[in-house]
Amino acid sequence: MASSESKVPLIIDGRRTDGRDMEDLRALRVEVGVIPEADGSAYIEWGGNKIVCGVYGPRECIPRHGASPYHALIKCRYMMSPFASLEEHSRSGPSRRSTELSKVIREVFENLIIAEKFPNTQIDVYIDVLQADGGTRTASVTVAAVALANAGIPMKDMVSAVAVGKAGGMLALDLNKIEDNFGQSDMPLAISHRDKRLLLVQMDGLLTREEVATILEMAERGCDKVHEVQADALKRFYQKGEGETFKW
């Protein structure tokens, strides 16, 4: 991403290409219980991202010899649809990138899920990116936390995620796809809500120490806003009256 610096103007008159301030989130909407067949589910629209998450379990571990007698295994599959980008139709199935993201997302939830009470089982977290617009991994963590809450999987805390990056020489919260492609650096973070622990940390590009410190502050404020949307979605779902059905 750093190579193509400044070919595309990312900041004009202190505003970003989509008119946002440096600490504004893109439009964010979360809906709960969108996959009735799943034990828990949620859907997120974040900027141009559209991501659905379904949770199953704890259920019998397959294959059995992979099971642990001490805790539930958490299995996570992040997948990008072949039609998720404006570019050409991509290959279906897991890529090297999606394998890595599945792992880092799983490692977020291994910190939160109280797995010891479900020996010899697995909990499946399926995340499907239907439409991508930069920041899919952070949106995935955000939507998966809501789906897990909807499934009633015991967790120590909720988690929210957001990326902060450097675009047009300035630090900006919640990079969109253009900023992600043409910006200088990108740092996706997932932060637990109550005790503010970092559960996902990745970075690419170049940042100074001070910039990282600023990014962490910005991300924490950003995650608090994301948490409000998550909490609101769950509250709406559990308080909704009759006839309120979700529209895709």
Helix (H, G, I), strand (E, B) or coil at 247: coil
**37 is an interface residue for other proteins by CB under 8 A:** yes
By CB under 8 A, which span of 21-29, 145-153, 179-187, 213-221 interacts with other proteins? 145-153
Separation of CA 66 from chain center:
27
Is 87 exposed, middle or buried, given 0-12, 13-18 or 19+ CB atoms closer than 10 A? exposed
131 part of the interface to other proteins, by CB under 8 A: yes
Q: How far is the CB of 153 from other proteins (least distance, A)?
A: 6
In what helix (H) or strand (E) does residue 229 lie, and over which residues does it extend? helix 209-239
Q: Is 15 in the site for other proteins (CB under 8 A)?
A: no
In the block, tokens 């990138």 appear at 97
Quickly tell me which residue has 């997120």 as its tokens. Answer: 44
Q: Which of 136, 140, 142, 150 binds other proteins (CB under 8 A)?
A: 150
CA torsion sign for 86, 27, 248, 227 is positive
Of residues 3 and 248, the one with the C-beta less far from other proteins = 248
User: Binding residue for other proteins (CB under 8 A) from 8, 11, 25, 130?
Assistant: 130
State the pairing for strand pair 121-131/73-80. parallel
Residue ranges in contact with other proteins by CB under 8 A:
35-41, 48, 50, 52-54, 56-62, 69, 77, 81-89, 92-93, 112, 114, 116-121, 124, 126, 128, 130-132, 149-158, 192-194, 230-231, 234-235, 238-239, 242, 247-248
